[in-house]
Amino acid sequence: MLAGEPFLYWFGHKPRICIFDYELARQVLSSKSGHFVKNDAHPTLLALIGKGLAMVDGIDWVRHRRVINPAFNMDKLKMMTKIMMDCAQSMAKELGDLASKSKNRETEVEFGKKFRELTADIISHTAFGSSYQLGKEAFQAQHALLEITMETFLHVQLPGLNHLPTERNRRKWMLEKNLRRSLMHIIQLQLASEGSENRNNLLGLMLDACTSNEEGGKQGELSLSMDEIIDECKMFFFAGHETTSLHLTWTVFLLSIYPEWQERLRQEVLRECGRDQYPNANSLAKLKEMTMVLLETLRLYNPALFIQRKPIADITLGALKIPKGCAIVIPVPIMHRDKKVWGEDADEFNPLRFQNGVTRAAKVPHALLSFAIGPRACIGQNFAMLEAKSVMAVILQKFSFTISPNYVHAPVDLFSLKPKFGVPVILRLLDE
């Protein structure tokens, strides 16, 4: 695929400029990032995920980032590996029991649905600790809100329509109320458990960093408001669940149709982690080929389809003169298949391109845009990669898998890149 020239298009009454050039993308996201802010979010999406770290700008972003940063410290994340493994092992046992009931030790699994359930379980445990069951209730409310949002995303936003007591609006209001109530309950439990081991989770670590001890601040005062903390919890769920479940789904799809790579990864997992041993953070760090496959999956099937920014004042990018407020759209799938940057095999699955690391995988060091680049790069990328490695290591230890004859390849844009008809896979228990 060859990237083209920038072009202007209209989204409703708002102009947008789509760019395909990596140097322009680098300027927008990195070297000139201070001149750009996030583009206005669709109101239905904003209601779903709130104005957390990914949506705020300026001094608010600095404040949110300072509070959330400690929760994603790599040493803290490594401590969560066992939780990830426990959840993955529980899923593997359930699937193993199903497979063992058939004569050929096989079962068909729709992994899109299975990974949604698994990553919801993982994020509920890692984000909320002992309150994970309440976290799952909050997740269910948010998932129902996501379905409503997807149904109405392309509707014309008529003034006042969101305030009319239609059946859909009443259901949306009820779900928003339930989601807020669940998250408020979890946060209050965490605040009451200050100093205990129950705070050793993403929310607890965030609350610890959120408690102001600075000069002029009162002991116990929160540097983020309760509404802001609730919005960060919404973002934990949406980003920590949706994107990772899709990443895992597309990884299983690719390993199903490239069995030679599936076997390479299995041998690496058995070599570094053993067949029956619990993989830990140290053994997962040794899975170099696993990392290559996960990065190549993100290149080909990145969950986020676009990165958007808008300038805070008139600005020049290369030969382009961009007026204030005109959104810049960076189309990730097209950039990731640009043959001038990735080579003639850009449309092919070739994890070996990442054998010398991300910065040497293509002709420019910032070619992989899956977690964005620059100061606004995804804060949760280490969490996401650790979770994906944990889950895939457990699956490869216990099963082999091939794509089901019922599979229909239909990637579709529904906020993120989803398999329209799921990913049904034939899962087979490995011989003991």
What pLDDT sits at residue 215?
A: 42
Q: Which structural domain, as residue segments, surrounds residue 403?
A: 32-304+370-429
State the Cα angle at 43 between 40 and 44, rounded to 5°.
135
Q: What are the pLDDT digits (tens) for 176-221?
A: 888 888 888 888 888 887 766 667 788 888 888 887 544 445 555 5
Average pLDDT over residues 109-137: 84
Q: Which CATH number is 164's domain given?
A: 1.10.630.10
d(CA 22, CA 365): 10
Q: Residue 3 — φ and ψ, nearest 5°? A: -75, 150
What pLDDT sits at residue 210?
A: 82
CA distances from 335 to 293, 300, 329, 370, 376 (A): 19, 10, 11, 11, 19
In this structure, what is the dihedral angle of CA atoms 177, 178, 181, 183, given to the nearest 10 degrees? -110
Q: Confirm whether 228 is domain-assigned.
A: yes
* DSSP designation for 164: S
Encoded tokens for 303: 């969950």
Indicate whether 297 pLDDT > 70. yes
Q: Confirm whether 189 is domain-assigned.
A: yes
Residues 6+ apart with CB under 8 A from 327: 11, 14, 15, 16, 17, 39, 308, 309, 310
Q: What are the pLDDT digits (tens) for 165-175?
A: 888 788 888 88
Beta bridge partners of 16: 9, 327
Indicate whether 52 pLDDT > 60. yes
CB-based burial label for 134 (10 Å; 0-12, 13-18, 19+):
middle
Which of 29, 134, 154 is CA-nearest to residue 415?
Answer: 154
Residues 6+ apart with CB under 8 A from 9: 15, 16, 18
DSSP 3-state of 428? strand
DSSP 3-state of 366? coil
Checking DSSP bridges between strand 14-18 and strand 327-331, what pairing results, if any? parallel
What pLDDT sits at residue 370?
A: 96
Average pLDDT over residues 14-35: 94
Name the average pLDDT for the chain.
88
Q: Confirm whether 267 is domain-assigned.
A: yes
Q: How many domains does the chain divide into? A: 1
Q: Confirm whether 319 is domain-assigned.
A: no
Indicate whether 286 pLDDT > 90. yes
Q: Residue 333 — φ and ψ, nearest 5°? A: -60, -40
What pLDDT sits at residue 158?
A: 60
Name the helix (H) or strand (E) containing 414.
Answer: strand 411-414
What pLDDT sits at residue 115?
A: 94
Indicate whether 258 pLDDT > 80. yes
Q: What are the pLDDT digits (tens) for 334-343?
A: 999 999 999 9
Among the ranges 157-161, 260-264, 305-309, 408-412, which has the highest mean pLDDT value? 260-264
Look at 24-33, 225-234, 254-263 and tell me which has the smallest mean pLDDT: 225-234
d(CA 325, CA 405): 48
Q: Confirm whether 9 is domain-assigned.
A: no
The amino acid sitting at 379 is I
Q: pLDDT grade, residue 239 (50/70/90)?
A: confident
d(CA 264, CA 64): 41
What residue has token string 């969950």?
Answer: 303
Q: Confirm whether 182 is domain-assigned.
A: yes
What pLDDT sits at residue 432?
A: 67
Indicate whether 134 pLDDT > 80. no
What pLDDT sits at residue 403?
A: 97
What pLDDT sits at residue 154?
A: 59
What pLDDT sits at residue 213?
A: 46
Q: Confirm whether 362 is domain-assigned.
A: no
Which of 358, 334, 380 is CA-nearest to residue 242?
Answer: 380
What pLDDT sits at residue 1?
A: 46
Q: Confirm whether 144 is domain-assigned.
A: yes
What pLDDT sits at residue 161?
A: 66
98 torsion bin: left (phi>0), alpha (psi -120 to 50), beta (else): alpha
Q: What are the pLDDT digits (tens) for 186-198?
A: 888 888 877 666 6
Beta bridge partners of 309: 38, 328
